[in-house]
């Protein structure tokens, strides 16, 4: 299989397990592909969303040793949706603990959306553990970007935004994050679950360049999988990712020596393309691919093709630039 433009065929883990990272949190992890191959770790988005079977499919299974795991409070990790002991520093420490647990010396770090944020934070904390980075849908966790997500979407999907804001009384719509946080952090299911559904519907409407006709988004799933991602996203937005303002760009010199491929959709309404341009500008040797006909999700054809091209290029040459 030579540089496919689509995902690799589905594969199953050959090893999986659970790793207790503190007295409260236990991570679910899995390993796929080729034992002894080129190690890569997949960092899912959200925060809070968890990985999926498709997370394994960006990497050639005969050449990559693929590590996929669910972050604290996410997916199959427990307790699901737990906000205590859940900060970026905690997640960064978990990645390094998992690397050591698996006996991996260095690995390629692959992350999109919130996963790109976490990949940058991890690499800056542990540059010697990284071979390079593949980043998609850059989020730099700045107030400007959070405000854009909360309010900018009404310029393109006014119906979806009006439903999102309309979940709140008119006098609370000037500060959507605080108003939603009050509801999402409630212990009363009659309050937190409708807020989570409204939050998730709005985000779903903004994911793709060509959204489904029903931009209301999915409403299925059990209560935990509905509530967890919305709660976690609101938590991290409220605390600006538990990082200092501008931290990811300020600490970029720590990883200037690492090769990086940045992939971003031109019409990404969740993480505007300006984030990717700024990151590439400040990273000597960075390779930036802006996909002209894509939004945010990794599963739009142009973005998928660029991500797979990047992993294929890296496993052949250890770099992302064309020879």
pLDDT of amino acid 3: 44
pLDDT of amino acid 2: 40
CA dist., res. 304 & res. 281, Å (int): 23
CA dist., res. 94 & res. 112, Å (int): 18
The distance of Cα 131 from the centroid of its chain, to the nearest Å, equals 19
Inter-residue contact 268 to 292 (CB < 8 Å): no
pLDDT digits (tens, 9 = 90+) for 274-292: 999 999 999 999 999 999 9
User: Which CATH number is associated with domain 15-141+243-317?
Assistant: 3.40.50.1820
| Residues known to be catalytic | 113, 268, 296
The distance of Cα 127 from the centroid of its chain, to the nearest Å, equals 20
With a cut of 50, which residues of the chain have pLDDT below it? 1-3, 214-220, 323
Average per-residue pLDDT for the chain: 94
Give the residue extent of every domain in the chain: 15-141+243-317, 143-241
């Amino acid at each position: 299989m030579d540089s496919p433009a689509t995902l690799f065929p589905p594969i199953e883990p050959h090893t999986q397990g659970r790793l207790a990272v503190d007295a409260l949190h236990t991570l679910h992890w899995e390993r796929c592909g080729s034992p002894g191959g080129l190690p890569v770790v997949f960092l899912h988005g959200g925060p809070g969303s968890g990985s999926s079977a498709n997370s394994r499919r960006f990497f050639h299974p005969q050449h990559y040793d693929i590590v996929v795991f669910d972050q604290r409070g996410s997916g199959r990790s427990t307790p699901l949706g737990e906000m205590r002991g859940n900060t970026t520093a905690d997640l960064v420490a978990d990645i390094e603990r998992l690397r050591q647990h698996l006996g991996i010396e260095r690995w390629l770090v692959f992350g999109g959306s919130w996963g790109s944020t976490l990949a940058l934070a991890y690499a800056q904390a542990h540059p010697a553990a990284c071979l390079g980075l593949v980043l998609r849908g850059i989020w730099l966790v700045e107030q400007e970007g959070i405000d854009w997500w909360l309010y900018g979407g009404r310029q393109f999907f006014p119906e979806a935004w009006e439903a999102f804001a309309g979940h709140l009384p008119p006098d609370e719509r000037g500060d959507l994050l605080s108003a939603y946080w009050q509801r999402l952090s409630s212990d009363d299911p009659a309050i937190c679950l409708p807020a989570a559904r409204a939050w998730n519907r709005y985000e779903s409407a903004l994911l793709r360049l060509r959204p489904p006709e029903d931009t209301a988004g999915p409403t299925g799933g059990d209560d935990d999988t509905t509530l967890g991602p919305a709660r976690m996203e609101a938590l991290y937005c409220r605390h600006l990712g538990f990082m200092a303002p501008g931290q990811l760009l300020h600490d970029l010199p720590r990883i200037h020596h690492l090769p990086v491929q940045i992939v971003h959709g031109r019409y990404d309404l969740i993480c505007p393309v300006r984030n990717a341009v700024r990151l590439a500008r400040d990273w000597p040797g960075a390779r930036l691919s802006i996909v002209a006909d894509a939004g945010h999700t990794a599963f739009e054809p142009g973005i998928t093709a660029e991500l797979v091209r990047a992993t294929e290029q890296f496993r052949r040459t250890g770099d992302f630039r064309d020879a």
